């Protein structure tokens, strides 16, 4: 009951009087007011009145009762469900609003009953409804049914939606069209009828209708640009629309569907009113430009200038971030656009209020700048940051203090970027040294530390040092480093801390981004999961006494199925690799509901390849429909160059029959049984962790030719792309310098790979490939590959080389 | 395909109805969603909304992940807020209904001064159009009737002839039924 009132009883009784009173105009509002203050405990007492009110002949009373019932569903769905007969009667009411509300309530009540909903839709699609609102609602019900059940366009539900395209009310037509467009099962053929309807709306005099149509077309264009091409002529008329939202949507749609020739004109048009549209739309424009750049790389000058103009205008952080991200991705994808893009970004950081963006750009400059034709140009911009950003700090009032902390990041980034230039270019070294020396007098501790550190390092002029400490930073997993350092400080030891024992941070695979429509408000948060997964494994394993002496975990593989998915026991295996051992983790799911498994182990045999089983950790009991975990510890072969092979697995256990109902075993004594699993493969990629070296060639020089292995192979693979993919797959290493992407039409390619071998040894691979054989006969097509492997460890080279055979 | 999921069909269509004056000050605002709970957040939203809309002719805008249809008249701005995957035409029908019923009630004088003078009726109108986010009624004539029926206690002299007649008819009907 209402929280503010004391004499609730007076209010309720007078409302109840009004509800049933003679004055018709008071009855509806009284019902609504009473239901607002009713809670679950009071619902019983209003039930009788509500049932009557729902079927009342006055539309205002019936509507009020139905809408209030929808609100009440949140508190006491059970009570409201008892009114279903009355609600069903109300659906047939002549009044359009009563029908709409009754349909909405009926759906809420029946929602879990798919069959009833289906019958409902079929019934009304035949009988017809009076209310356009109810039609829209029915379309949505049908669409959610189609999507949930995974039905195709042949279902009667779809026929209903399709028939609504010919309804006489615009609202219903649009609802049907936009619903068809958003269905999962739809194909370009079905799309065309929806698109035709939307095309008619485009030329409507009502702005809302035009907006709705062009927004939906814009969504379609993301996935099926061809389907929208038919509307191009009509969309052209919208680019000068007085409503800028409509114009923007029309232009971005045209950009997606149009051809290269039209780009200039459209960009010119849109830039004329860019300042008038909201940030959200500007971001849509930026996204459109991004996809354009990928589609038409030759247009980069027009697009880049446009982006730079946008960057100069006023705008919020999100908007600026989108632009900077787009420019950075263009710079990385398109070598021709690199210099222009960097110049625009340099200009931007000269006057940039967003520290995090400036920091990102400085990092990019540090990485890409030294490789351009005139690196000296960028040094001015970077050094400007060091000296200019300082000035306001020195002014030193309180307000500036906060900024000071933000600028700190900038300095660190700027100083590191400067150092990268120094390391990468001989000619610039003296200049950089001077600049760094000046910076050593900075006020901030960490800036000074960095400057001094880099200054001393660069003065050595040692390529190997530069590569290790400036150009390629450490790739260790930070959380693991923290944990190990903490443990190191806990135990008294004179041994120095070994950085190699820290697990390497796995390279995060960039997730394919979800389609960007204007409506996406959720950002995918999946990138954290993989790292967190390795951390939890590492904690789980180190907590077990059997595995405590193994040292830090090097790498955990993804889980592999060792059984078919439809058998009694589903077993999956995860390989945890340590410096000299592998722990196999078996997750066993007992799918039988009348058997209990006890003392489960997985026996492994790899003696042929030299693997030696050291220890089994059995799982004591696995209940019905439950999952248990058992571990097998295997020592790697002594011969460090032969560490791959297949291990045969057999699951051994004691079975006890049990009662499916209670899960209690029937008898005390079980019987031993075994179950043969598929073999577990230990491949080269299990011993290697992917590592991204930002400056691969510097690392290559750093490792040197001490442990070098070079060989030439002929591989029966028809295309370079496939060859690159296979090599990366077998070796389990990371492609650097974007060498995994092959420009079209090339007959030769060089692939650069980097990784860390078990035990913390860096491994680098250079693979030069050339298409050979006669092109007339594709089956005889082969690739000649020259493979060079360098590593700090000799056996690592052998193992990696064996991956190719 | 395009959008990953169609949200569960629901009657809760309207996320807010706002009336602002031509300086961006709030005359009346009702929010039916949980996104703007504090007055400060609401005012900020209204401010950015006003900045984007007061110049152009009334139609539709996308802001903060809301679709907003709006309309301006003399010194007033009317907004109806819905989610981005809402049917824009449905929102527009609510806006039209709001405007038309106010226009009927204020005898076409949809201006700030008259709105203030009849603020009680305007609030009732809003409540009759939308109940906690559900569209309650879409016929402006019906709404105007329902809202104005409450004015039973206008002195006899100021009532129109039809009103008096209606009143008398009702009285007789009820006395006969007893």
B41 is a domain residue: yes
Q: Take residue A702 and report the two structure tokens written for it.
A: 């750093």
Q: Take residue A338 and report the two structure tokens written for it.
A: 């690199």
Q: What are phi and psi of A493, to 5 degrees?
A: -150, 150
Q: Does B88 touch chain A (CB under 8 A)?
A: yes
Q: Does B149 touch chain A (CB under 8 A)?
A: yes
Which site among A212, A249, A256, A275 would you substitute to test the B interface, given the most B Cβ atoms closer than 10 Å to its Cβ?
A212
Q: What confidence tens digit (pLDDT) does each residue in A546-596 have? A: 777 777 777 777 778 888 777 778 888 888 888 778 888 888 888 777 778
Q: Does B92 touch chain A (CB under 8 A)?
A: yes
pLDDT of residue A162: 83
Answer yes or no: do B65 and A519 touch at CB < 8 A.
yes
Mapped onto helix, strand or coil, the DSSP state of residue A657 is strand
Q: What confidence tens digit (pLDDT) does each residue in A186-201 have? A: 777 778 888 888 888 8
**Domain extent for B165:** 14-177
Q: Does B22 touch chain A (CB under 8 A)?
A: no
What are the residues whose beta carbons fall under 8 Å from the beta carbon of A252, sequence distance 6 or more?
Answer: A218, A284, A285, A287, A288
Query: Above pLDDT 90, what percent of chain B?
Result: 5
Q: What confidence tens digit (pLDDT) does each residue in A18-62 have? A: 877 777 778 888 888 888 877 777 777 778 888 888 888 888 888
Mean pLDDT for the stretch of residues B109-136: 86
Instruction: Judge contact between B30 and B62, C-beta under 8 A.
Output: no
Give how far B70 is from chain A: nearest CA, Å.
10
Answer yes or no: do A514 and B59 touch at CB < 8 A.
no
Q: What is the pTM of this model?
A: 0.60
Other CB atoms within 10 Å distance of the CB of residue A112: 7
Nearest to A143 among B6, B59, B62 (CB): B6
What are the residues whose beta carbons fall under 8 Å from the beta carbon of A114, sequence distance 6 or more?
Answer: A145, A148, A149
Q: What confidence tens digit (pLDDT) does each residue in B1-12 have? A: 333 344 678 888
Query: A-chain residues within 8 Å CB-CB of B53?
Result: none
Q: What are phi and psi of A615, to 5 degrees?
A: -155, 145
What are the residues whose beta carbons fall under 8 Å from the beta carbon of B154, sequence distance 6 or more?
Answer: none
Instruction: Judge contact between A80 and A69, C-beta under 8 A.
Output: yes
Exposed e or buried b for every residue in A334-356, given b needs 16+ CB within 10 A? beebbebbbbbbbebbeebebbe
Q: Take residue A524 and report the two structure tokens written for it.
A: 């995918």
Length, in residues, of chain A: 805
What are the residues whose beta carbons fall under 8 Å from the beta carbon of A86, sequence distance 6 or more?
Answer: A51, A54, A55
Give the helix/strand (H/E) hosting A28.
helix A24-36
Lowest mean pLDDT among A232-246, A285-299, A514-528, B113-127: A514-528
Mean pLDDT for the stretch of residues A371-387: 69
Nearest to A519 among B10, B64, B85 (CB): B85
Query: B-chain residues within 8 Å CB-CB of A521?
Result: 65, 84
Query: A-chain residues within 8 Å CB-CB of B61?
Result: 245, 278
- Place A369 in a pLDDT band, splitting at 50, 70 and 90: low
Query: Above pLDDT 90, what percent of chain A?
Result: 0
What are the residues whose beta carbons fall under 8 Å from the beta carbon of A62, sequence distance 6 or more?
Answer: A53, A54, A55, A56, A90, A93, A95, A98, A101, A102
Exposed e or buried b for every residue in A749-767, given b needs 16+ CB within 10 A? bebbbbbbbbbbbbbbbbb
Q: Take residue A226 and report the two structure tokens written for it.
A: 């061809």
What are the residues whose beta carbons fall under 8 Å from the beta carbon of A694, sequence distance 6 or more?
Answer: A367, A471, A472, A473, A736
B123 is a domain residue: yes
pLDDT at A485 over 70: yes
Instruction: Judge contact between A686 and A621, C-beta under 8 A.
Output: no
Among the listed residues A432, A24, A652, A436, the one whose alpha carbon sits nearest the alpha carbon of residue B150 = A24
B 104-143 residues inside an 8 A Cβ radius of A: 127, 131-132, 134-138, 142
Q: Does B35 touch chain A (CB under 8 A)?
A: no
pLDDT of residue A188: 76
Helices A132-149 and A114-127 cross at an angle (nearest 10°) of 140
Q: Round to whole Å and give the CA distance between A447 and A425.
A: 22
What is the overall mean pLDDT for chain A?
74
Which site among A146, A148, A176, A280 would you substitute to test the B interface, given the most B Cβ atoms closer than 10 Å to its Cβ?
A280
- Tokens 């999100």 identify what position? A318
pLDDT of residue A396: 35
A-B contacts (CB, under 8 Å): 136
Which site among B32, B45, B59 would you substitute to test the A interface, given the most A Cβ atoms closer than 10 Å to its Cβ?
B59
Query: A-chain residues within 8 Å CB-CB of B11?
Result: 67, 70, 100-101, 104-105, 137
Q: Does B3 touch chain A (CB under 8 A)?
A: yes
Distances (CA, A) of A634 to A548, A576, A648: 14, 10, 13
Q: Take residue A791 and report the two structure tokens written for it.
A: 């590593």
pLDDT of residue B80: 92
Answer yes or no: do B11 and A67 touch at CB < 8 A.
yes
pLDDT at B44 over 80: yes
Answer yes or no: do A144 and B9 touch at CB < 8 A.
yes
Query: B-chain residues within 8 Å CB-CB of A212?
Result: 60, 87-89
Q: Does B54 touch chain A (CB under 8 A)?
A: no
B8 is a domain residue: no
What are the residues whose beta carbons fall under 8 Å from the beta carbon of A214, sequence distance 6 or more?
Answer: A202, A235, A238, A246, A249, A250, A253
pLDDT of residue A518: 37
What are the residues whose beta carbons fall under 8 Å from the beta carbon of A274, sequence distance 6 or more?
Answer: A282, A285, A310, A313
Mean pLDDT for the stretch of residues A274-278: 69
Answer yes or no: do A243 and B174 touch at CB < 8 A.
no
B126 is a domain residue: yes
What are the residues whose beta carbons fall under 8 Å from the beta carbon of B172, sequence distance 6 or more?
Answer: none
Answer yes or no: do B2 and A181 touch at CB < 8 A.
yes
Answer yes or no: do A67 and B136 touch at CB < 8 A.
yes
Q: Round to whole Å and give the CA distance between A202 and A192.
A: 15
B96 is a domain residue: yes
- Tokens 């449905």 identify what position? B90
pLDDT: is A705 or A465 the higher one? Answer: A705
- Place A460 in a pLDDT band, splitting at 50, 70 and 90: low
Nearest to A208 among B63, B84, B89 (CB): B89
pLDDT of residue A391: 44
Give how far A355 is from chain B: nearest CA, Å.
24
Instruction: Judge contact between B27 and B19, C-beta under 8 A.
Output: yes
B7 is a domain residue: no
Query: A-chain residues within 8 Å CB-CB of B57?
Result: 207, 242-243
Among the listed residues A177, A145, A280, the one whose alpha carbon sits nearest the alpha carbon of residue B84 = A280
Q: What confidence tens digit (pLDDT) does each residue in B77-107 have? A: 899 999 888 888 889 999 999 999 888 888 8
**Minimal Cα distance from A65: which residue of B?**
B136
Answer yes or no: do A207 and B59 touch at CB < 8 A.
yes
B6 is a domain residue: no
Q: Where are the alpha helices (DSSP H) in A207-316?
A: 207-223, 225-228, 232-238, 244-257, 263-271, 279-295, 300-312
Q: Round to whole Å and give the CA distance between A253 and A211.
A: 12
Give the helix/strand (H/E) hosting A540.
helix A527-542
B157 is a domain residue: yes
pLDDT at B30 over 80: yes
Among the listed residues A166, A124, A130, A167, the one whose alpha carbon sits nearest the alpha carbon of residue A142 = A124
pLDDT: is A401 or A242 the higher one? Answer: A242
- Tokens 């059940």 identify what position? A149
pLDDT of residue A148: 79
Query: B-chain residues within 8 Å CB-CB of A87?
Result: none
Among the listed residues A571, A577, A574, the one whose alpha carbon sits nearest the alpha carbon of residue A559 = A574
Q: Take residue A482 and report the two structure tokens written for it.
A: 């923290």
Mapped onto helix, strand or coil, the DSSP state of residue A653 is strand
Q: Round to whole Å and give the CA distance between A656 and A666.
A: 7
Q: Take residue A505 and report the two structure tokens written for it.
A: 């941070």
pLDDT of residue B57: 62
pLDDT of residue A710: 81
In chain B, the number of structural domains is: 1
Q: Round to whole Å and give the CA distance between A243 and A276.
A: 10
What are the residues whose beta carbons fall under 8 Å from the beta carbon of A222, sequence distance 6 or more?
Answer: A256, A515, A516, A517, B2
pLDDT at B60 over 70: yes
Mapped onto helix, strand or coil, the DSSP state of residue A670 is coil
Give how far A171 is from chain B: nearest CA, Å.
6
Q: Round to whole Å and give the CA distance between A786 and A713.
A: 6
Give how far B116 is from chain A: nearest CA, Å.
23
pLDDT of residue A519: 36
pLDDT of residue A517: 37
Answer yes or no: do A519 and B84 touch at CB < 8 A.
yes
Query: B-chain residues within 8 Å CB-CB of A107?
Result: 9
Give how far A5 is from chain B: nearest CA, Å.
21
- Place A630 in a pLDDT band, splitting at 50, 70 and 90: confident
pLDDT of residue A478: 65
Nearest to B65 among A32, A63, A521 (CB): A521
Query: A-chain residues within 8 Å CB-CB of B153?
Result: none
Among the listed residues A528, A469, A477, A542, the one whose alpha carbon sits nearest the alpha carbon of residue A503 = A477
Q: What confidence tens digit (pLDDT) does each residue in A310-347 have? A: 777 777 777 788 888 888 888 777 777 777 788 888 77
pLDDT at A400 over 50: no
Query: B-chain residues within 8 Å CB-CB of A100?
Result: 11, 135
- Place A520 in a pLDDT band, splitting at 50, 70 and 90: very low
ipTM of predicted complex: 0.81
Mean pLDDT for the stretch of residues A142-153: 79
Give how far A65 is from chain B: nearest CA, Å.
11
CATH of the domain at B20: 3.30.450.60
Q: Does B2 touch chain A (CB under 8 A)?
A: yes
Q: How far is CA A437 from the centre of its chain?
A: 43
Which site among B9, B33, B54, B56 would you substitute to test the A interface, given the most A Cβ atoms closer than 10 Å to its Cβ?
B9
């Amino acid at each position: 009951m209402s929280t503010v009132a004391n004499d609730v009883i007076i209010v309720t009784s007078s409302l109840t009087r009004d509800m049933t009173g003679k004055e018709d105009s008071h009855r509806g509002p009284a019902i609504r007011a009473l239901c607002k203050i009713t809670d679950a405990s009071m619902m019983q007492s209003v039930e009788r009145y509500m049932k009557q009110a729902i079927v009342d002949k006055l539309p205002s009373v019936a509507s009020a009762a139905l809408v209030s019932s929808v609100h009440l569903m949140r508190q006491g769905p059970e009570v409201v469900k008892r009114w279903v007969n009355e609600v069903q009667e109300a659906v047939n009411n002549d009044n359009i609003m009563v029908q709409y509300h009754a349909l909405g309530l009926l759906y809420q009540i029946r929602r879990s009953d798919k069959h009833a909903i289906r019958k409902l839709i079929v019934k009304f699609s035949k009988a017809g409804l009076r209310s356009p609102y109810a039609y829209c609602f029915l379309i949505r019900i049908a669409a959610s049914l189609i999507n949930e059940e995974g039905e195709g366009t042949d279902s009667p539900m779809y026929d209903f939606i399709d028939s609504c395209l010919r309804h006489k009310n615009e609202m219903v037509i649009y609802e049907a069209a936009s619903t068809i467009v958003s269905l999962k099962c739809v194909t370009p053929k079905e799309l065309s009828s929806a698109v035709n309807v939307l095309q008619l709306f485009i030329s409507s005099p009502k702005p809302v209708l035009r907006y709705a149509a062009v927004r939906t077309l814009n969504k379609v264009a993301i996935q099926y640009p061809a389907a929208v091409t038919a509307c191009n002529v009509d969309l052209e008329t919208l680019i000068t629309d007085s409503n800028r939202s409509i114009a923007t949507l029309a232009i971005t749609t045209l950009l997606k569907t149009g051809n290269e020739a039209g780009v200039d004109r459209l960009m010119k048009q849109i830039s004329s009113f860019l300042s008038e549209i909201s940030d959200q739309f500007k971001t849509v424009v930026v996204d459109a430009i991004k996809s354009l750049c990928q589609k038409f790389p030759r247009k980069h000058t027009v697009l880049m200038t446009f982006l730079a103009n946008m960057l100069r205008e006023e705008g919020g952080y999100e908007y600026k971030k989108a632009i900077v991200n787009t420019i950075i991705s263009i710079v990385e994808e398109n070598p021709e656009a690199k210099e222009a893009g960097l110049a625009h970004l340099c200009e931007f950081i000269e006057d940039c209020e967003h520290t995090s963006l400036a920091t990102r750009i400085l990092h990019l400059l540090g990485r890409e700048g030294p490789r351009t034709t005139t690196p000296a140009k960028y040094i001015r911009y970077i050094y400007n940051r060091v000296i200019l950003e300082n000035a306001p700090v020195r002014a030193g009032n309180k307000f500036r203090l906060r900024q000071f902390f933000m600028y700190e990041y900038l300095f660190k980034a700027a100083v590191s970027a400067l150092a990268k230039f120094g390391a990468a270019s001989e000619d610039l070294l003296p200049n950089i040294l001077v600049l760094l020396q000046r910076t050593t007098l900075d006020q901030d501790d960490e800036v000074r530390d960095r400057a001094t550190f880099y200054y001393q390092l660069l003065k050595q002029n040692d390529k190997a040092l530069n590569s290790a400490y400036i150009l390629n930073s450490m790739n260790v997993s930070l959380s693991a480093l923290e944990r190990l350092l903490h443990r190191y400080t806990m135990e008294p030891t004179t041994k120095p801390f070994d950085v190699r024992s820290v697990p390497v941070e796995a390279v995060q695979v960039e997730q394919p981004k979800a389609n960007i429509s204007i409506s996406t408000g959720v950002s995918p948060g999946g990138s954290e999961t993989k790292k967190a997964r390795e951390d939890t494994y590492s904690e789980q394993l180190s907590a077990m006494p059997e595995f405590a002496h193994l040292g830090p975990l090097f790498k955990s593989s993804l889980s592999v199925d060792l059984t078919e998915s439809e058998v009694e026991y589903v077993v999956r295996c995860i390989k945890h690799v340590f410096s000299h051992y592998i722990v196999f983790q078996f997750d066993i799911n007992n799918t039988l509901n009348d058997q209990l498994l006890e003392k489960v182990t997985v026996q492994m045999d790899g003696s042929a390849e030299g693997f030696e089983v050291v220890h089994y950790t059995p799982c004591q009991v696995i209940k019905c429909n439950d999952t248990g975990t058992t571990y097998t510890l295997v020592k790697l072969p002594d011969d460090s160059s032969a560490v791959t092979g297949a291990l045969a697995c057999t699951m051994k256990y004691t079975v006890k029959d049990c009662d499916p109902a209670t899960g209690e075993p029937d008898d005390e004594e079980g019987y031993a049984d075994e179950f043969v699993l598929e073999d577990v493969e230990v491949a080269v990629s299990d011993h290697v962790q992917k590592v991204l070296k930002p400056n691969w060639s510097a690392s290559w020089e750093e490792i040197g030719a001490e442990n070098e292995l070079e060989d030439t192979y002929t591989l029966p693979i028809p295309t370079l792309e496939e060859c690159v993919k296979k090599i990366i797959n077998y070796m389990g290493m990371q492609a650097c310098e974007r060498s995994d992407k092959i420009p079209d039409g090339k007959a030769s390619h060089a692939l650069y790979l980097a990784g860390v071998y078990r035990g913390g040894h860096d491994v680098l691979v250079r693979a030069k490939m050339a298409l050979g054989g006669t092109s007339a006969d594709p089956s005889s097509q082969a690739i000649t590959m020259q493979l060079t492997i360098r590593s700090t460890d000799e056996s690592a080279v052998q193992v990696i080389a064996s991956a190719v055979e | 395909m395009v959008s990953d999921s169609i949200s569960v069909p629901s009657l809760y269509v309207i996320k807010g109805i706002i009336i602002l004056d031509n300086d961006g000050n709030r005359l009346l605002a009702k929010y039916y969603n949980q996104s703007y709970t504090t007055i400060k957040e609401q005012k900020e939203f209204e401010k950015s909304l006003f900045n984007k809309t007061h110049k152009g002719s009334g139609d539709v805008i996308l802001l903060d992940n809301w679709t907003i249809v709006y309309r301006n008249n003399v010194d007033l701005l009317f907004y109806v807020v819905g989610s981005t995957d809402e049917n824009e035409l449905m929102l527009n029908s609510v806006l039209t209904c709001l405007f038309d019923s106010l226009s009927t009630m204020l005898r076409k004088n949809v201006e700030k001064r008259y709105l203030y003078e009849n603020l009680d009726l305007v609030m009732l109108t809003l409540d009759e159009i939308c109940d906690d986010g559900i569209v309650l009624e879409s016929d402006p004539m019906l709404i105007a009737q329902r809202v104005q029926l409450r004015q039973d206690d206008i002195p006899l002299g100021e009532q129109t002839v039809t009103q008096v007649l209606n009143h008398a008819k009702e009285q007789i009907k009820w006395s006969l039924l007893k």
